[in-house]
Structure 1
Amino acid sequence: MNDAISNAPGRIFVGCAGWSLGRERAAAFPGDGTHLQRYARQFNTAEINSSFYRPHRPQTYARWADSVPADFRFSVKIPKLISHEQQLQGSGHALDEFLGQCSELGERLGCLLLQLPPSLGFEPSVAEAFFIQLRERFDGHVVIEPRHESWVRAQPMLVHYCVAQATVDPSRLSNDRQPAGWPGLGYWRLHGAPRIYYSAYDEDFLMRLAVELKAKALSGAPMWCIFDNTASGAATGNALRLIEILAQPPSAREQQG
């Protein structure tokens, strides 16, 4: 996939897991249209998590693509059938079905997200066979969120197959507080802390995050930041505020840092 926008030097994507818009944030999304259409007027990305639980028809992906601007990009979560049930083994048919569906996003398909279960350790032969299968079928951006400590040993393999490792909060592994794996992509998944999926991030956290995203983007790699603290609607507010901070001119502290 040769996507000039997703691969644009240093582009920062900010959005949420899903595009549900709660009443408390309705004023930030004025105008007519579906939730997705209104959401996409404020954000330049969304993570499709529902694909993890169930397949979507190709027509559904095509409709979503038609609902957003040309420079909007989706991240799509690989089905749990592949990651959790098949545990990355014998997944060729399932990959074909999934990619046949989500490829209807066209150029708006920016990234695939592979989240692994905490029980799935790193087995080099299994992992490599899976990445070979995936790369035979898909040449776009891929990010992995492993949740078993043994995956810290996978770094050379991730780099070889151009797979980025997500930066995660709350941290689960000894190496997931900073981008890891392939350096051509940065991907933050922020689940909320201290109460996962519920807690909002405070201003200091968002300020530090903005500085880090800008600094990492100087490498020329695109940076993604997805707020997954959606259970009580905190994600939307955090993502809106981060965009505001990113738009501000560099502060004296940033210039000194």
Structure 2
Amino acid sequence: MACYTGTAGWGIASSLAASFPGEGTHLARYARRLSCAEINSSFYRPHRQATYERWAASVPPAFRFSVKMPRVITHTKRMVDTRDDVSRFLDEISGLGDRLGMVLVQLPPSLRFSAVVAGAFFDDLRLRFDGRIACEPRHGEWFCQEAEALFAGRHVARVAADPAPMPAAAEPGGWRGLTYRRLHGSPEMYVSDYSPEKLALIAADLRDDPAEERWCIFDNTAQGHALPDALVVLEALSQAGR
């Protein structure tokens, strides 16, 4: 059972430099402490395959990246007629090689669930990508039995998000071989840090989760809380494993 803890991005504030000693880039130093990172910049702009290759070469063999699917696919085209866009994206991220842990599909809050559209999209994606996939829907219609069955049948995990747009979104769903938790900061998304009590609960949830692979990504980066929060959870998991 694999457990990965990390943040969205890998920037290291000067106040945290002592926690990430040694030579090298921010990514190289980050990867000596944490086990994964979520690449969010791919949502906004494409990266060359060579860029992904450079990132992969900067991290240890056991380190893994998740990569966020471009917004042109999920937000502009809304999962319709995206075959060429998906092909370009998969070609780019192939540069990560075996450091590629998964693809993250984040959907806009306005995108309603359509079994026809979602089924066609994930079927096409699965034909060309056999790795891990996690999806973060944000419209309430996705939290239904039909959507859960669609995800499970295609081995797509539904993200457990905090704050959750509705109660069901707080718990992992879809295919349960994988858990992917995205912690955006609560009560204020991207800004708030998590209390010691909440971080202890997060660590306990990760430790007790029956999924064969568990990810925990802190996305509360706006004021630099993601890294400290991730380190607290990492330490709690380490102590539990002793």
- TM category (shorter chain) comes to over 0.9
Q: Is the contact made by 1:207 and 1:245 (CA closer than 8 Å) also made in structure 2?
A: yes
**Match for residue 232 of structure 1?**
223
> How far apart are the structure 1 equivalents of 2:241 and 2:85?
46
Match of 1:4 in 2: none
After the TM superposition, which residues 58-97 of structure 1 pair with which residues of structure 2 at under 5 Å, given as runs? 58-97=49-88
1:38, distance to aligned residue in structure 2 (A): 0.6
Q: Which residue of 2 aligns with 1:22?
A: 13
Query: Aligned-pair RMSD on alpha carbons?
Result: 1.1
The Cα of 1:250 is off from its aligned counterpart by 7.2
- What is the CA–CA distance in structure 1 between the aligned matches of 2:90 and 2:22, rounded to whole Å? 33
Aligned to 1:52: 43
| Equivalent residue runs for 1:168-207 within 5 Å | 168-207=161-200
Task: Give the percent of matched residue pairs that are identical in Structure 1 and Structure 2.
Answer: 48
How far residue 152 of structure 1 moved from its aligned partner, in angstroms, is 1.0
Q: Which amino acid aligns with 2:26?
A: H
**Do residues 130 (structure 1) and 121 (structure 2) align?**
yes
Moved over 6 A (4+): none
* Contact 1:95–1:134 (8 Å) recurs in 2: yes
Aligned length: 240
State the one-letter code of the partner of 2:12: L
Helix, strand or coil at the partner of 1:40: helix
TM-score if structure 2 supplies the norm length?
0.97
How many angstroms does 1:178 deviate by?
1.1
Q: Secondary structure of 2:32's partner? A: coil
Residue number in structure 2 paired with 1:149? 140
- Aligned residue for 2:37, secondary structure, equals strand
- Tell which has more relative contact order, 1 or 2 (C-alpha 8 A, sep 6+): 1
Structure 2: tracts of 5 or more residues without a match: none
Structure 1 runs not aligned, ≥5 long? 1-9, 252-257
Distance in structure 2 (CA, Å) of the matches to 1:230 and 1:70: 26
Structure 2 SS opposite 1:113: strand
CA distance in 2, matches of 1:249, 1:163: 29
Q: Deviations over 1:73-112 (max 9, x none)?
A: 0000000000000100001000000000001100000010
Q: Secondary structure at the match of 1:189?
A: strand
Distance in 1, matches of 2:53 and 2:183, equals 28
1:149–1:174 Cα contact (<8 Å) kept: no
Query: In the alignment, what sits opposite 2:207?
Result: 214
Tell me how far 1:54 sits from its aligned partner: 0.3
